[in-house]
Amino acid sequence: FSADDVTVLFVLGGPGAGKGTQCERLVAAYGFTHLSAGDLLRAEQNRVGSQYGELIKDYIKNGLIVPMEVTIALLENAMRDAMTAAAAAAAKPTSTSKSTTDDDDDAPLKGKFLIDGFPRKFDQAVKFEEAVCPAKFVLFYDCPEEEMERRLLERGKTSGREDDNAESIRKRFRTFVETSMPVVDYYEKQDRVVRIRADVPPDDVYRATQAELVKRLGD
């Protein structure tokens, strides 16, 4: 993808920081396509015939980072699917719009993507930006571990997620501190991180997010 055709924002933050919650709201308000790397991996894990099912299950339970070939392929496919669906929708004639030209290729489609929970490791960041598309900037949801732990244990009562238990949560935090925070630091050095306080109610986090998006993307 070229940066002219797509806008990609990485959405990062520790386990339970609220990435998914905020992305959902941004989708409704700004028409982003939300791609959660974790959700894509869980879907692939459950796909009948997947050769990666067992591997993904094992990595997620242990809070480890799945080899990036798998995750990047899933993200790239999902981006392509979203662009294809948008093109098909745009090409469909509607009763109210009279097309003055048959040539739909004139207007290039713009994709807007929130990539949630990726990249989690330095080499993934480099590879994705090289092979798929550079990110415009990074939204980083900053939340203390005690608060994230409280949220995940609470969610674990009903989520059915195999990593929402005390032991897996401990492992996820460890991977986050040791492996994923360095990615945020790397982007911070390039002045590409928008840091948002995430230990306040979801409405407040969202308001802060909106204010930053207006500054950086307009409207």
**Residues making up the binding site for ATP:** 16-21, 155, 200
Q: Which is nearer to ligand UP5, 43 or 86 (CB)?
A: 43
Query: What is the distance between the alpha carbons of residues 155 and 16, in angstroms, rounded to a whole number?
Result: 9
Q: What does 70 interact with, of Mg ion, ligand UP5, none (CB < 5 to 8 A by kind)?
A: none
20 counts as binding Mg ion under rule CB under 5 A:
yes
Q: Encoding tokens for residue 60?
A: 């997620």
CB closer to ligand UP5 out of 37 and 79: 37
Closest distance to ligand UP5 from the beta carbon of 95 (Å): 39
Lookup: tokens for 131: 């092979």
Task: By CB under 5 A, tell whether 156 contacts Mg ion.
Answer: no
Q: With contacts defined by CB under 5 A, name the span among 2-10, 12-20, 106-114, 130-138 that binds Mg ion.
A: 12-20
Going across the sheet that includes 193-197, the strands are: 33-36, 111-116, 6-13, 137-142, 193-197
From CA 81, how far away is CA 96, in angstroms rounded? 27
Contacts of 126 (CB under 8 A, 6+ apart): none
Cα atoms found within 13 Å of the Cα of residue 219, Cβ hemisphere only:
4
> Binding residues for Mg ion, per CB under 5 A?
19-20
> Binding residues for ligand UP5, per CB under 6 A?
13, 15-21, 36-38, 41, 59-60, 63-66, 71, 117-118, 120, 151, 155, 163, 172, 198, 201-202, 205
